[in-house]
Structure 1
Amino acid sequence: MALSFETGISVVLGLAAKIAEAQSLVAANVTGSATECVTCSFQAEDMVVLHMVKAIHPSVPVLFLDTGYHFAETYEYRDEMAAAWGLNLINLTPRQTVLEQEAQFGILHQTAPDQCCKLRKVEPLFAALAGYETWFTGMRREQAKSRAQLQALDHFTLPGGKQLLKISPLADWTTRDVWNYAQEHGISLLPLYDKGYSSIGCEPCTSLPSDPNDPRSGRWSGRKQECGIHIQAQ
């Protein structure tokens, strides 16, 4: 159903305020040093945050978790955007290749998805984050119930005890906000969205959403909500 003129104006003004707030948060915490990074899965939210950070810090390290299980479309889009935007892309890889892991443990994403995520996502990321002080993410509260209490500015403790400043500028953004920003700034998005995917991770653990009200209902066949990279040491 088409928006009324008044509703349309309200949406535009609301997004403008959110953009200004997010950009102010980014500007206040970007110094241009090598101790700041952005984690990027090349999903829409991450591209928006990267767009904001890169405007101030063009050479910001962009950390991508190269699990070896991503969709071909994800790898193609990553390479296209890395070239188009001149990204300082850092591909984080697990200690074992996919073949080595499957030879030792079998198909973990089928039998023990938490362990698979730990080996291919959590351990490589936490090891890399130890070299940074500030971490920008594209996380949003609306993405999942597990993120309902997400704070735009937080401190994250790594297993070794080191604390980073974790910044999620889009914490209170809606999916519509993200898409509108991308359109407004001419950011092309991952083609998998056009096929109906709403949350995109490794190919074996990503399907079309089963619940239209839950963007992450297509992840891990509903067995879990998080891979573990946003769960800090206690």
Structure 2
Amino acid sequence: MPPVQRYARVAGVLYLIIIVIGLASEALIRGRLIVDGDPDATAQHILGAQFLWRLGIAGEDVLLICAVGLTALWYVLLRPVDRRLTQLAIAFAFMSLAVESVGALHLHAVLTPLLGGAYLQSADPALLHVLAYQSVVAHAHAFGLALIFFGVECLLIGHLIRRSGFFPATIGVLMQLAGLCYLVNSFSMILSPALQSVLFPFILLPSLVGESTFCLWLLIKGVDVAAWTRRTNAVRSEVTP
């Protein structure tokens, strides 16, 4: 198997891990334990399923590790299309991951007031529940901001895919649609929370379809090695005196 095909397969595996962890964390962990607008019920659920909450935190950390590796592989795979545009996409990707990492810290912080040491024993339990819930809210806002940068990344990655010749142009269109949906969701969260509550989660269905399609293509088909090689050789010939 040519090295670039191995890179494509590894990218597909990392993408699959990211998608599975993301869906499981949202639907099976945070979706089960967080009660919207109710700090006391949320605290009781988390305290009653501490290992599940910790598992979600660990999953988020694994997701971030995989995302860093996937971002590096985007540069390897898409650089022959347009090096500068690929670098711009990578910059947005790392900005998104930096913000998402801050959001992950808020998931860690949820347990601090709920399981605090002696210095918190005299505090009002209701206040501690509110503090924990504030960390939940802070994570949601940080994640929404991260998706703005990720949405721009998807637009750029989709454009590079459409121009590549070694990935189907249709996947590029789907990735750009995914990026647009992420942007609409995040900006509606900022500008009109009422509208965002109506749009979510349906606004993100095209994003799931686009990213899942690209992931499966990487796993099953990979990259058109001959087309990628021709594109790479053409770039090398342009820079060689």
- TM-score normalised by L of structure 2: 0.25
Query: Which structure: greater strand fraction?
Result: 1
TM-score by length of 1: 0.25
Higher helix share: 2
